[in-house]
Amino acid sequence: MRDEILTSAKRIVVKIGSSLVSSKDAGLRPDRIDRLADEISMLRTDGREVLLVSSGAIVSGIKKLGLKEYPKSLPVKQAAAAVGQSRLMWAYEKSFERLGVKVAQILLTHQDLADRRRFLNARHTLAALIGFGVVPVINENDTVAVDEIRVGDNDSLAADVAHLVDADLLVILSDIDGLFTQDPRKNPSATLIPLVSEITEEIEQRAGVSTTFEGTGGMATKVRAAKKVGEYGVATLILNGQQAGLLPTVLAGGDGGSLFLPKGRRMTSRKLWIAFTLRPQGQLLLDAGAVVALAERGKSLLASGIIDVKGTFEAGDPVSCLNQDGKEFAKGLVNFSSDVIARMKGLKTVDVQQRLGPQEYDEIIHRDNLVLL
């Protein structure tokens, strides 16, 4: 199964970690970028479509600005990103140009992905670039992003891009070999796990955090990304990008890295967008009957099944649906604001109409806008 997934994947999102293309002392590493460009070009020669999600802009900017340490304030981080992003893109431009390959820069924020129209525009743009044989180089728009619109880390961004372009495979290149049975830094006898069929709580707990200057994530963010795209029906390969030639070798069926298998089902793009891209703006606590209706019978959510409303949100916003234990089991787009739902909760449809007058919708969340988690 592992060989079949790796050798047959046509559209691949490759995430390149900061430690592969930059360092605290040297800034950008053109030699590393040239080598990665060579390997990406080899994949394209084999008929693969490749999109890059590349870190490294901030570290590159830190070196150029002469900063002694990683900046703590947002304005300085954004200044470093502004200086470093152009240098990073120019390095990719030069590396791929010598191979006769065109590249394009795409900068995204979470807001671009959360807005359905902008999401679809980005999707169509990337499809057009791929059609022209261009390699998109994608990064978070750190220069303008604030906490409210940040994706967070580029492992998460790469997972979002895999959904955005309907990828067959996500490859996360870093300075680690993959997932081990134990932390290899603490236990030399730890062994690499070549195939992960399911991401369990034990595996999530086993994943550590990054301690490097360059990286903002570690194995934990990579496992979360693998879990996320697994829900899309996409496999994830975590691979050591510092080993020359390993990427094309493994994708040809060779040994190396850890492959995380996807789940069997694959949602529609819209349902995936609701489930994994949108951030809930509030919560609806449901009674047992409503939980069963949604989870087991595929019904829409009506006002009669709502016990409580938490948070402030508007019509069209994403909200979490909680069972009586307070556990999130579904997410959907509401047809009414939190104020209106608070007045409707617990009422049957006929009672809603009598008290509040005729409403445009009978459902609080229509089943077409609801996703079970």
Q: Provide the annotated binding site.
A: 15, 55, 142, 154, 174-175, 216-222
The DSSP-derived string for 272-293 is HIIIIISPP--EEEE-HHHHHH
Mean pLDDT over 305-334 rounds to: 96
Residue 292 has pLDDT above 60, yes or no: yes
pLDDT value of residue 207 = 76
Q: Provide the annotated binding site for substrate.
A: 55, 142, 154
Mean pLDDT over 84-105 rounds to: 96
Top mean pLDDT of 101-115, 197-211, 285-299 is at: 285-299
Q: How far apart are CA 88 and CA 21, in angstroms?
A: 9
Closest CA to 227 of 196, 192, 189, 187: 196
Enumerate residues 6+ apart whose C-beta is below 8 A from 91.
Answer: 21, 28, 30, 33
Least confident range from 49-53, 111-115, 192-196, 310-314: namely: 111-115
pLDDT value of residue 211 = 40
pLDDT value of residue 231 = 85
Closest CA to 258 of 165, 173, 157: 173
Boundaries of CATH 2.30.130.10 in the chain?
A: 280-372
Percent of the chain with pLDDT over 90: 65
pLDDT value of residue 212 = 43
φ, ψ of residue 193 in degrees (nearest 5): -100, 110
Boundaries of CATH 3.40.1160.10 in the chain?
A: 2-271
Residue 314 has pLDDT above 80, yes or no: yes
Domain 280-372 belongs in CATH node 2.30.130.10: yes
Least confident range from 95-109, 165-179, 193-207: namely: 193-207
pLDDT tens, residue by residue, 345-370: 999 999 998 889 989 899 999 999 99
Q: Which two tokens stand for residue 64?
A: 């150029």
In this prediction the pTM is 0.80
Q: How far apart are CA 357 and CA 136, in angstroms?
A: 52
Q: How far apart are CA 16 and CA 52, in angstroms?
A: 7
What region, left, alpha or beta, does residue 253 occupy, with left being phi > 0 and alpha being psi -120 to 50 degrees?
left
**What size, in residues, is the chain?**
373
Q: What is the dihedral of CA 266, 269, 271, 276, to 10 degrees?
A: 90
Task: Confirm if 11 and 49 have CB atoms less than 8 A apart.
Answer: yes
Task: Confirm if 28 and 60 have CB atoms less than 8 A apart.
Answer: yes
pLDDT value of residue 265 = 65
Burial of 327 (0-12, 13-18, 19+ CB in 10 A): exposed
pLDDT tens, residue by residue, 140-159: 886 665 554 345 588 999 99
Who has greater pLDDT, 317 or 144?
317
Task: Confirm if 262 and 230 have CB atoms less than 8 A apart.
Answer: yes
pLDDT value of residue 152 = 58
pLDDT tens, residue by residue, 105-129: 999 988 888 888 899 999 999 999 9
Enumerate residues 6+ apart whose C-beta is below 8 A from 188.
Answer: none
What confidence tier does 181 reach under pLDDT thresholds 50, 70, 90?
confident
Place of tokens 């040297």: 26
Helix (H, G, I), strand (E, B) or coil at 344: helix
What confidence tier does 47 reach under pLDDT thresholds 50, 70, 90?
very high
Task: Confirm if 100 and 135 have CB atoms less than 8 A apart.
Answer: no
Q: Which CATH number is associated with domain 2-271?
A: 3.40.1160.10
Q: How far apart are CA 286 and CA 243, in angstroms?
A: 51
Place of tokens 């490859």: 171
What confidence tier does 297 reach under pLDDT thresholds 50, 70, 90?
very high
Q: How far apart are CA 116 and CA 11, in angstroms?
A: 23
pLDDT value of residue 151 = 53
Q: Provide the annotated binding site for ATP.
A: 15, 174-175, 216-222
Q: How many CA atoms lie within 13 A of 296 on its CB side?
A: 6
Mean pLDDT over 27-38 rounds to: 94
Name the amino acid, one letter, at 310: K
Mean pLDDT over 237-241 rounds to: 96
Closest CA to 136 of 148, 145, 144, 128: 128
Percent of the chain with pLDDT over 70: 94
φ, ψ of residue 2 in degrees (nearest 5): -60, -50
pLDDT, the chain, mean = 90
pLDDT value of residue 214 = 40
Closest CA to 87 of 126, 66, 58: 58
